[in-house]
Each structure stands twice: as C-alpha cells, then as structure tokens.
Amino acid sequence: MAARSAIEWTESTWNPLTGCTKISAGCEHCYAERMALRLQAMGQPNYRQGFELALHEQALDLPLRWKKPQMIFVNSMSDLFHKDVPVEFVLRVFDAMRRASWHTFQVLTKRAERLEQLDAEIDWPSNVWMGVSVEDERFAFRVGHLRRTHARVKFLSLEPLLGPIPSLDLGGIHWVIVGGESGPGARPMKESWVAGIRDQCVRCRVPFFFKQWGGTAKKRAGRLLAGRTWDELPSRVGMCAP
C-alpha cells in the first residue's frame, strides 16, 4: 500500500531517503523536520536519527509493488539532490522511477545547482516531473538551473511564498504551485504576490495550482483565490518563450 498523502497536488509519497539540512529562508519552519522528530519519538525505524540524512535501500523498490497508477511525491521528507546523497544512489532512485513506468513521479529540490550538475548523468524518464522550490526573489536563480536540465516536465513550487518574485521567468516551465507557509510561526503571504504569479501563468498558458493561504489555522484560511480554486495540472507545454 502506498503512503497516501494529504498534499493537495499529489496522491502518495515515497521516501527512499529521509532527513535534510537547512539552506535558505524557506527551510526555517520545515514541516518535514517537525514530522521527523515526531516519528522518532514514536519509534519509527526510518527516523532513529531524527532529521539527520539517512538512505533507505529497502525502500527503493516500493513503487514497483504499488500496482495502481498514481501521482507520487518523491522525498517529501528530504531532498534527493542534497550534497551528501551519493550520485550512485540518486541514479538508483531514477532507475526505480523508470521501471515503475505506470506511475507519475514528482521530484522537488532546493539544490538546483547540483540538479543541473547531475543532469548529464541522469537518463530522464518521461514519467518524472522535476521541480525546484523558490520562496522569494533571492532564489529565483534556481529556475534557470531547472530550465537547463533535460527533464521532460519542469515545475516550480513557490511555497512557502515569502515575497514577490518580479523576475520570475516561466519560459520552459510546465506547471506552477503557490502556497503560503503553515504551522507554528507561519510567515504571512500577501494576495498581491499570489495574484501576480497567477496572472503571469494565465498569460503564458502555464497551469497554475494554488495550494493554500497557510497560517496557523490553514484549514480555516482555505484555498480560494479570487473566489475560486485553482487546481490546474500540466497537460500542455507553457507558451512563454525560453
């Protein structure tokens, strides 16, 4: 049985590695760290070391056992392109995704530089969507690293969105997710930041997914933007020129 996910833009999660280290502003209130420490306290074997990076060889073939096709978020509790993950292990994860061809895999990283560095070594399967996280203007450079890879579908997760991103370039991007930070200490997100990104997606015909307003009571804050939900998924290539 796959690990069902409450994340609005996916169906299941798969964690062949767990644990991470913080590298930018979006990591400050990391939900995965909070969850890892909770699972450690509960005695979950994969979290014996809490949020320290750990590779789980026994998990590599899990998607091959899940026969029902589904959307799978890879490493919701880590980052596949962390500097301490051996290249050989990264390639084994991609091999598992290639062999589980009936699923669609969503990989997300903040380590965009390493993603581009390893691009030539990756045989990109068509069922893998590759994304980078960008929380504000300071980290918009990550989009360029993603754009230069050979991933078939490229997407952006602008979550937690901590500021406007006026330089955002959607050339060659196939999907954009936006969400506010949630949980303890959640930082606010302005509607104008979200609306500007949505309007650019509409102009460029790039599917737009609004995940949440966030806050300390995210369910009450909801997901409506301008009176409606935005649940678009990549079904066509973005039309903004690269």
Per-residue pLDDT tens digits for 151-203: 999 999 999 999 999 999 999 999 999 999 999 999 999 999 999 999 999 99
Single out the residue of 211, 156, 164, 222 nearest to residue 189, CA to CA. 164
Q: For the chain, what percent of residues have pLDDT higher than 90?
A: 91
**Least confident span in 17-21, 63-67, 127-131, 181-185:** 181-185
Q: What is the pLDDT of residue 12?
A: 97
The three-point CA angle 123-69-237 to 5° equals 55
Position 67 pLDDT exceeds 90 = yes
Per CATH, the number for 3-221 is 3.20.20
SS3 14: strand
- pLDDT at residue 238 is higher than 50: no
pLDDT at 240: 58
Mean pLDDT in residue range 96-113:
98
First to last CA, the chain: 40
CB 173 within 8 A of CB 149: no
DSSP element (H, E) containing 218: helix 218-221
Can you give the pLDDT at residue 241?
Answer: 52
In the numeric block, which tokens belong to residue 61? 């073939």
Please state, in angstroms and rounded to a whole number, the distance separating the CA atoms of residues 213 and 222.
6
Instruction: Report residue 3's pLDDT band, with 50, 70 and 90 as the boundaries.
Output: confident
The per-type count for the chain, helices as H runs and strands as E runs, is 7, 10
Of the candidates 138, 194, 199, 149, the one whose C-alpha atom is nearest the C-alpha of residue 173 is 149
Spatial separation of the C-alpha atoms in residues 76 and 160, rounded to whole Å: 15
Give the per-residue SS3 of 175-202. EEEEECCECCCCCCCCHHHHHHHHHHHH
User: What pLDDT, on the 0 to 100 scale, is given for residue 2?
Assistant: 65
